[in-house]
Structure 1
Amino acid sequence: MPPALWTVWVLGSVISLPKEGASDQASSLSCDPTGVCDGRSRSLNSIPSGLTAAVKSLDLSSNEITYVSNSDLRRCVNLRTLRLGANEIHTVEEDSFFSLRSLEYLDLSYNRLSYFSSSWFRSLSALKFLNLLGNLYKTLGERSLFSHLPNLRILKVGNSNSFTEIQEKDFAGLTLLEKLEINVPNLQAYAPKSLKSIQNISHLILHLKQPVLLLEIFVDILSSLEHLELRDTDLNTFHFSEVSINETNTSIKKFTFRNVQITDESFPEVVKLFNYVSGGLEVEFDDCTHDGVGDFRTLTLETIKHLGDVETLTIRKLHIPQFFLFHDLSNIYSLTGKVKRITIENSKVFLVPCLLSQHLKSLEYLDLSENLMSEETLKNSACEHAWPLLKTLVLRQNRLKSLEKTGEILLTLKNLTNLDISKNNFHSMPETCQWPGKMKYLNLSSTRIQSLTRCIPQTLEILDISNNDLDSFSLILPKLKELYISRNKLKTLPDASFLPVLLVMRISRNIINTFSKEQLDSFQKLKTLEAGGNSFICSCDFLSFTQGLEKHGSGLFFIL
């Protein structure tokens, strides 16, 4: 039997044999010729017998496996990925993973393991990913589990109930991690320097209910961490102690607060963290709750000279229970002068006060998607001298209704080049409009427009009018390089003479029946045409033509 057929036979038949004593409900694994075996959700109560060196990836997650013996995986010497998550495993024999010297990915999460042995990982020097979340352990053991894992890059530990202590030896031996996730909502003890031994951490995710020990952790990671993410934390009582931090050589570049609670009193305390970061900083609030009215006392804020070096601020799904009592935040306007990028999505924003817009002197990018902005409030926000350096404005899915008024309001933005006003309900388009003179990109997709007029600015290089009710395109746009007009009702390609420098056109999902080689050749600079999902008539001439368009003689790439 040829070697390739032998491999397939081993994977397809030997692996499928149930282990002696295994449940009759156990189904055979699904394995492909490359050695990838899928045994997810098969009601297995033990690891199948007969596994060989041909297996390179084994997924046994979401079963009922309770025990891993030192013989189950002994022959899997080429195994690189092992997924055992979401089982009922309570015991792993000491040498169960001894032969897995090529293993790079190990998932033991959400089982019933009450302790871990360092001997399990002793031979796993190639391991890059290890997930130990959601088991029953109280600590990570008496000895360092990870000292023999020099290549580990992603580590996940902890659980939501019993894990309460981080010990100094827990992360000994680790010097470089791309991601470290610690689920310790009930943290009661943190030994100083426990995280300091890790010389470089790209991203640390901490699940903490209360921030009692947050500053102790912050001290240890300040010089080694790039991105700190807090999840599910109640910061209502957080108080920053300045004397606890003496570190000046910092590497943090990003803070993320995900599902955290904050008050008017604790917000200034959180902001103080940013002052201990050198260099450009990104701050993100995702699905957070502000339990207050934005009454940030000037006396309190006097201790904060600025927002550190915050250059990027992202806020998504901000919940404000007392939304209609919220202040205008005028007492923190002076802190915003260095911010270059702001995103506030799905947070019921209906107005950016003129004075705040004028203070945002460095702002280059503003995204207010999925909010409540209308022409009336936008006029106040984009007042004279507002956002003087703004280049990109995203107002996707707001309450704009008039293209004419929108363009006129934005004339104050002298440097605006990119405008996204998609998913607003414009319906009709006036004959003419005024726009900022430097406009190069305009997104009018999903705005229910039915026809195009000279309202579209002549300066555009990129135009997106996808997903509308257009049945024709007859605009002259001498500088347009990219046209996105998919999901409309066009019956033919646009006239090439109207678009002399067009490089990219995506015209999929219209009702085009056919087009000729001559039509296509008339687009002299076109490099990419995507036209799939149309109602092409399959004539012999058209079929022959399209088959020859895999790569057009002029360099055109055609996607049908």
Structure 2
Amino acid sequence: PTGVCDGRSRSLNSIPSGLTAAVKSLDLSSNEITYVSNSDLRRCVNLRTLKLGANEIHTVEEDSFFSLRSLEYLDLSYNRLSNFSSSWFRSLSALKFLNLLGNLYRTLGESSLFSHLPNLRILKVGNSNSFAKIQEKDFAGLTLLEKLEIYAPNLQTYAPKSLKSIQNISHLILHLKQPVLLLEIFVDILSSLEYLELRDTNLNTFHFSEVSTNETNTSIKKFTFRNVQITDKSFNEVLKLFNYVSGGLEVEFDDCTYDGVGDFRTLDTIKFLGDVETLTIRKLHIPQFFLFHDLSNTYSLIGKVKRITIENSKVFLVPCLLSQHLTSLEYLDLSENLMSEETLKNSACEHAWPFLKTLVLRQNRLKSLEKTGEILLTLKNLINLDISKNNFHSMPETCQWPGKMKYLNLSSTRIQSLTRCIPQTLEILDISNNNLDSFSLILPELKELYISRNKLKTLPDASFLPALLVMRISRNIINTFSKEQLDSFQKLKTLEAGGNTFVCSCDFLSFMQGQQAPVRVLIDWPEDYLCDSPSSVRGQRVRDTRLSPSECH
């Protein structure tokens, strides 16, 4: 595109000369540039994006960025800068994004770097070894940030009120090795922060002491703990942070290690978990999983949780009693775990998950559709069921399913044919990526059919699917379709049929290139519609293919 200069990874040791006002975006990342002079960018008055990350820059002259008044994006990360000057940023009033990660500084300098950046929305500061001190004036002048990332695994000093000057932070990412200063930071952001993400922290020694704050107007809506270590004792301490949050809270643990056995006996003293509405756990490592308790201490606290995701964490059972206590649960995702029909029967016992609407059991150890459907009959309110990526292979002639089911995902389950096991109530059916060579089911209420990556030779018969609005049938072995076939789907709004083995006959080409062509409904036209035969036009786009008069008459 005009005005875009891509100079990545060119072994450059300085900024190229001759840059002009025509340049709007300049990417010089991953080079060997060591120095930025005040004349290098002087004529780039229309520059919006400047990427200088992953170089060897140790010096930036005072007025190097002076003429960049339109600059919105500046990346100086992973260089060798040990000091910053506020004069670099003084004229960058349009700047929205600034990345200073991974340089050699211990502090952000003597004066406030960011006080002339009223439009800054995303700021990244810190490094993995030397950055040790946050000072009170560091963030002065910033009032509103969408994202603030502070990479400070070796932080030793945090001056109180340093972050308090920012009136609104949507998302704060803190990389801290130890939790020593966590509470001091937490107090300062209580009233300004919406989403706190803690990364790479060993919380095993974390102890919560009552924070001295009169903040009642807390705006925190979400906590994420990413690659964090935690014990039974410190987990109970972490939960006390939630005491300062009012309203529906979302809590996420991603790739964490739990050095405990689920001993939550002291949880009874914690009454404020009632505000957690959404709990997400991904890739949880429990070294002592064989000693893990039955979670009965949590029963009194989980009644208000509406959404739970526990993914890729070796879950093989949700105890019946636990399921029965999840009385507000509407959404449960247990993807990539070890659930089988035997354990699912215990989990979905009578009165389990009474208000559950969506259940995701993608990539578990289910083998029988018949048993799975029967087990789930206890879930009277179930509407959406995802059992994709289980190995069902075959489908029985008939099945029983919860009466309200509208959505069923059976993609990537190795099924080879369809039977009346599929519930008649469905509005959405996903059977993509299987071994199906035909579709002859009558589904009177079906609005969306996803059947890509199978072995179908023709479109399904429209009379089987009178309500169909959306059909995705790409990457099958369909040779052709006609105007009459498409017209028979009277309500069809969206069709994705690219990636098939089209025989580019004269009739097919004249239909697809003519006035009556269905381009209005084809969402992947024309890129994915290629001729497979005759061999003379193989690989050409259907839209552009011309056959000689002799081939057509």
Within 5 Å, which residues of 2 pair with 1:146-185?
A: 146-185=114-153
Task: Tell me the distance in 1 between the aligned counterparts of 2:255 and 2:213.
Answer: 29
1:471-498 CA distance string (max 9 Å, x none): 1100000000000011111111111111
Task: Tell me the distance in 2 between the aligned counterparts of 1:449 and 1:243.
Answer: 57
For these two proteins, the number of residue pairs brought into alignment is 514
Task: Tell me the distance in 2 between the aligned counterparts of 1:78 and 1:539.
Answer: 52
Shift of 1:203: 0.2
Task: Tell me the distance in 2 between the aligned counterparts of 1:351 and 1:326.
Answer: 12
- SS of residue matched to 1:155: strand
Task: Tell me the distance in 1 between the aligned counterparts of 2:41 and 2:186.
Answer: 41
Asked whether the 8 Å contact 1:215–1:244 carries over to 2, the reply is: no
Asked whether the 8 Å contact 2:274–2:302 carries over to 1, the reply is: no
Task: Tell me the distance in 2 between the aligned counterparts of 1:308 and 1:92.
Answer: 52
Within 5 Å, which residues of 2 pair with 1:463-542?
A: 463-542=429-508
- SS of residue matched to 2:211: helix
Shift of 1:34: 1.4
RMSD: 0.8
Stretch moving more, 501-510 or 196-205: 501-510
Asked whether the 8 Å contact 1:277–1:308 carries over to 2, the reply is: no
Shift of 1:245: 3.8
Shift of 1:326: 1.0
State the TM-score, normalized to the length of structure 2.
Answer: 0.92
1:528-558 CA distance string (max 9 Å, x none): 111111111100110111224xxxxxxxxxx
Q: Which runs of 5+ in 1 are unaligned?
A: 1-32, 549-560
Stretch moving more, 415-424 or 306-315: 306-315
Task: Tell me the distance in 1 between the aligned counterparts of 2:193 and 2:274.
Answer: 17
Task: Tell me the distance in 2 between the aligned counterparts of 1:200 and 1:254.
Answer: 15
- SS of residue matched to 2:442: coil
Asked whether the 8 Å contact 2:183–2:211 carries over to 1, the reply is: no
Task: Tell me the distance in 1 between the aligned counterparts of 2:246 and 2:219.
Answer: 7
Asked whether the 8 Å contact 2:208–2:237 carries over to 1, the reply is: yes
1:505-525 CA distance string (max 9 Å, x none): 111111111122111111111
Stretch moving more, 327-336 or 434-443: 327-336
Asked whether the 8 Å contact 1:63–1:87 carries over to 2, the reply is: yes
Asked whether the 8 Å contact 2:226–2:255 carries over to 1, the reply is: yes
Task: Tell me the distance in 1 between the aligned counterparts of 2:105 and 2:428.
Answer: 56
- SS of residue matched to 2:50: strand
Shift of 1:527: 1.1
1:96-140 CA distance string (max 9 Å, x none): 000000000000000000000000000000000000000000000
Among the aligned pairs, what percent are the same residue? 94
Task: Tell me the distance in 2 between the aligned counterparts of 1:198 and 1:282.
Answer: 23
2:252 maps to which residue? 284
Stretch moving more, 212-221 or 506-515: 506-515
Task: Tell me the distance in 1 between the aligned counterparts of 2:235 and 2:326.
Answer: 20
1:62-107 CA distance string (max 9 Å, x none): 0000000000000000000000000000000000000000000000
Shift of 1:196: 0.3
Asked whether the 8 Å contact 1:51–1:73 carries over to 2, the reply is: yes
State the TM-score, normalized to the length of structure 1.
Answer: 0.91
Shift of 1:52: 0.4
Task: Tell me the distance in 2 between the aligned counterparts of 1:289 and 1:479.
Answer: 46
Shift of 1:243: 4.2
1:244-290 CA distance string (max 9 Å, x none): 34321100000000000000111111111112101111001100000
Within 5 Å, which residues of 2 pair with 1:206-225?
A: 206-225=174-193
2:350 maps to which residue? 384
Task: Tell me the distance in 1 between the aligned counterparts of 2:121 and 2:33.
Answer: 27
Asked whether the 8 Å contact 1:450–1:469 carries over to 2, the reply is: yes
Task: Tell me the distance in 1 between the aligned counterparts of 2:426 and 2:210.
Answer: 51
Asked whether the 8 Å contact 1:178–1:202 carries over to 2, the reply is: yes
1:303-345 CA distance string (max 9 Å, x none): 2014141111111000111112111111112111111011111
Asked whether the 8 Å contact 1:357–1:382 carries over to 2, the reply is: yes
- SS of residue matched to 1:242: coil
Q: 394, 398, 403: which is aligned to 1:432? A: 398
Asked whether the 8 Å contact 2:187–2:211 carries over to 1, the reply is: no
1:366-395 CA distance string (max 9 Å, x none): 000000000000000001111111000000
Tell me whether 1:236 sits opposite 2:204 in the alignment. yes
Task: Tell me the distance in 2 between the aligned counterparts of 1:245 and 1:286.
Answer: 29
Task: Tell me the distance in 2 between the aligned counterparts of 1:243 and 1:313.
Answer: 25
Task: Tell me the distance in 2 between the aligned counterparts of 1:150 and 1:183.
Answer: 23
- SS of residue matched to 1:332: helix
Task: Tell me the distance in 2 between the aligned counterparts of 1:394 and 1:192.
Answer: 45
Asked whether the 8 Å contact 2:268–2:297 carries over to 1, the reply is: no
1:397-453 CA distance string (max 9 Å, x none): 000000000000000000000000000000000000000000000000000000100
Asked whether the 8 Å contact 1:374–1:400 carries over to 2, the reply is: yes
Tell me whether 1:115 sits opposite 2:83 in the alignment. yes
2:359 maps to which residue? 393
Asked whether the 8 Å contact 2:308–2:332 carries over to 1, the reply is: yes
- SS of residue matched to 1:209: coil
Task: Tell me the distance in 2 between the aligned counterparts of 1:178 and 1:267.
Answer: 29
Asked whether the 8 Å contact 1:275–1:308 carries over to 2, the reply is: no
Task: Tell me the distance in 2 between the aligned counterparts of 1:507 and 1:52.
Answer: 50
Task: Tell me the distance in 2 between the aligned counterparts of 1:393 and 1:308.
Answer: 22
